[in-house]
Amino acid sequence: MSTEQILLTAVGAILVAVLSFGGVTLGHLWSRVQNLEDQVKKARSQNRGLWRYCRDLLDLYYKHRTPGSPDPGPLPDVD
C-alpha cells in the first residue's frame, strides 16, 4: 500500500469515528430533551389539577360562607 492509501484510510476511519461520536451524542441529547419535555407536561398537568381543586374549594367556601367568617388568605406566589 502506498502512503496516500494509508493516509486516506486513516482519514476515513477518523471521519467515521467522529460522525459516530456525533450521532451518539445527538441521540443521547435528544433522549434527555424528550425526557425533560415529558416531565414538564406532567408538572403542568398536576399544576392545572391543583389549581382547579383550589378554585373549586374557594368557590365552595364563598357559596356556603356564613356571616362573620374570615376571608381566605391570598394565594401564594411561586417564585
Q: Are 20 and 34 in contact (CB under 8 A)?
A: no
For residue 41 the three cell numbers come to 407536561
Alpha helix positions (H), the chain: 3-63
User: How far apart, in whole angstroms, are the C-alpha atoms of residue 55 and residue 72?
Assistant: 12
pLDDT tens per residue across span 3-51: 999 999 999 999 999 999 999 999 999 999 999 999 999 999 998 988 8
pLDDT digit string, tens, across residues 37-47: 999 999 999 98
